[in-house]
Amino acid sequence: MQINYREPAADLQKRIEIHEKYGTRNIDEWNVEVLNPQPGQSILDVGCGAGKQCFLFDKHTQGQAQIFGGDFSEELLGKANERLAGLGSKNIHFQFLDFNKPFEFQDGKFDIATSSFAIYYASDLKFTFSEAYRVLKPGGRLFVTGPLPENKKMFYDIIKEATNKAIPPMPGSSRFKGEIFNTIDSIFDKTELLSWENPLIFPEVEPFMEYVQASLNEDRKLWTDLFNNAEDYKSLIGSIEKVAKAWHARDGKLVMTKVVGGILAHKK
Ligand SMILES: C[S@@+](CC[C@H](N)C(=O)[O-])C[C@H]1O[C@@H](n2cnc3c(N)ncnc32)[C@H](O)[C@@H]1O
C-alpha cells in the first residue's frame, strides 16, 4: 500500500506541546519504561522526527548508549540536529533513513529498534519489519507504538457529527492491531501487544481546535477526502468548532483519550 503521508514540523511540534500540556501521562516515558535501555547498548529509532525519544534514551543511559535516529524528513532531522548541537552529546546520531528502502546499517548492529507513531506508514510492512529484524542482534528487541482503533474516539466523533461523512481510514489505527501486529509476529520469534491510555483534558475549546488544525492540515495528505481547497477547509474547521462548542457547553470540558498500542517483539 502506497501512503502519501508527510509531517510538517510545525504541526508535529504543536501536537507534542498539546500532549504535554493537557495529557496526564507521557508516551515517551512509557517507551523508556518498557525498553529500559542500558548503558553500552545500541539503539535505533526509526521515524525519529525531531528526536525526542532519542534524547530521552540518552538521558536514561546517562549518555552511555549509542543512539541512531533516522527519518526521511530533512526538516525534522534539522530540528533534531539543532537540539543535539545544544547538548553536545557524541553518542546520538541523526541521519536520513527512508523505511521503505534498505536500512543503511549492518546486520546485527542494534540491541533495540524502536519506532513511535511512524513505521506503520511503511508501504511494504514485510520488507520494513524484515529490515528491523536484520539490523537487530540476536536477543534484540523491537518496540513499535501506534494508535489502537479506540484511539481519540471523541475527536473522530466530533468530526463525524460536524461533517456527516465517514472518517478516512488512518494508516495507523486501521492497521496497527491486525496487519502490523501479524506482520511483526510472522518475522519475530516472540511478539506481544501492550496498551497504554492517556486522557487529554481540555478545559476550553481553543486548544482542542489547535489540535484539530495540527491534525487536519492539508500538507499531511491524510484528510483530503474531507476538503478540496482552502475555502472547504475553512468551512470544515468552522463546523468542527461549532460541534466542539456544543459538546463543551454540555460537559464543561472536552476529554480526548489517546489509546496507544505497543508491539514488543523479540529476536532469538
Ligand atoms: C507522527 S511523526 C512521529 C515522530 C517521532 N517518532 C515522535 O514520536 O515525535 C511520524 C514520523 O515518521 C516519519 N516518516 C514518515 N514516513 C517515513 C519514511 N518513509 N521513512 C522515514 N521516516 C518516515 C515522518 O517524517 C515523521 O517524523
Can you give the pLDDT at residue 149?
A: 86
DSSP for residue 268: -
- Residue 170 in any domain: the answer is yes
CA distances from 156 to 39, 51, 103 (A): 41, 28, 35
Residues with CB under 6 A from ligand 1: 5, 7, 12, 47-49, 52, 71-73, 76, 97-100, 116-118, 121
Grade residue 2 by pLDDT with cuts at 50, 70 and 90. low
Contact 23, 198 (CB under 8 A): yes
Helix (H, G, I), strand (E, B) or coil at 150: coil
- Residue 4 in any domain: the answer is no
- Residue 1 in any domain: the answer is no
Helix (H, G, I), strand (E, B) or coil at 64: coil
**In this predicted model, what pLDDT tens digit does every residue of 157-174 receive, in sequence order?**
999 999 998 887 776 677
Can you give the pLDDT at residue 256?
A: 97
Mutate-to-test residue for ligand 1 from 72, 94, 104, 222, highest number of ligand atoms within 8 A of CB? 72
**In this predicted model, what pLDDT tens digit does every residue of 59-84 receive, in sequence order?**
999 999 999 999 999 999 999 999 99
Residue 93 pLDDT exceeds 60: yes
- Residue 3 in any domain: the answer is no
Residues spanned by the domain of 228: 9-266
Contacts (Cβ under 8 Å, ≥6 apart) of 4: 221
Question: Which numbered atom of ligand 1 lies nearest the CA of 73?
Answer: 25
**In this predicted model, what pLDDT tens digit does every residue of 254-264 receive, in sequence order?**
999 999 999 99
Q: Which residue has the higher pLDDT, 135 or 219?
A: 135
The H or E element that residue 266 is part of is strand 254-266
Nearest 5°: phi and psi at 267?
A: -105, 130
C-alpha cell at 64: 552511555
Q: Which residue has the higher pLDDT, 173 or 193?
A: 193
- The three-state DSSP-derived secondary structure of 156-223 is HHHHHHHHCCCCCCCCCCCCHHHHHHHHHHHHCCEEEEEEEEEEEEECCHHHHHHHHHHHHCHHHCCC
* CATH code of 204's domain: 3.40.50.150
For the segment 44-48, the average pLDDT, to the nearest whole number, is 98
Tell me how far the alpha carbon of residue 118 lies from the centroid of ligand 1, in angstroms.
4
Which of these, 65, 100, 67, 192, lies nearest to 141 by C-alpha position? 192
- Residue 2 in any domain: the answer is no
Tell me how far the alpha carbon of residue 248 lies from the centroid of ligand 1, in angstroms.
32
**In this predicted model, what pLDDT tens digit does every residue of 195-239 receive, in sequence order?**
999 999 999 999 999 999 998 876 566 677 788 888 888 999 999
Percent of the chain with pLDDT over 90: 78
Contact 222, 8 (CB under 8 A): no
- Residue 42 in any domain: the answer is yes
Instruction: Quote the distance between the C-alpha of residue 81 and its chain's center.
Output: 19
Can you give the pLDDT at residue 3?
A: 54
Instruction: Domain count for the chain, please give it.
Output: 1
- Residue 216 in any domain: the answer is yes
**In this predicted model, what pLDDT tens digit does every residue of 7-40 receive, in sequence order?**
778 888 899 999 999 999 999 999 999 999 999 9
**In this predicted model, what pLDDT tens digit does every residue of 94-131 receive, in sequence order?**
999 999 999 999 999 999 999 999 988 899 999 999 99
Neighbours of 101 (CB within 10 A): 12
Can you give the pLDDT at residue 144?
A: 97
Tell me how far the alpha carbon of residue 48 lies from the centroid of ligand 1, in angstroms.
6
**In this predicted model, what pLDDT tens digit does every residue of 4-16 receive, in sequence order?**
566 778 888 899 9
Helix (H, G, I), strand (E, B) or coil at 79: helix
Can you give the pLDDT at residue 9?
A: 84
Tell me how far the alpha carbon of residue 117 lies from the centroid of ligand 1, in angstroms.
7
First CA to last CA distance, the chain: 29
Tell me how far the alpha carbon of residue 219 lies from the centroid of ligand 1, in angstroms.
14
Can you give the pLDDT at residue 218?
A: 60
- Residue 85 in any domain: the answer is yes
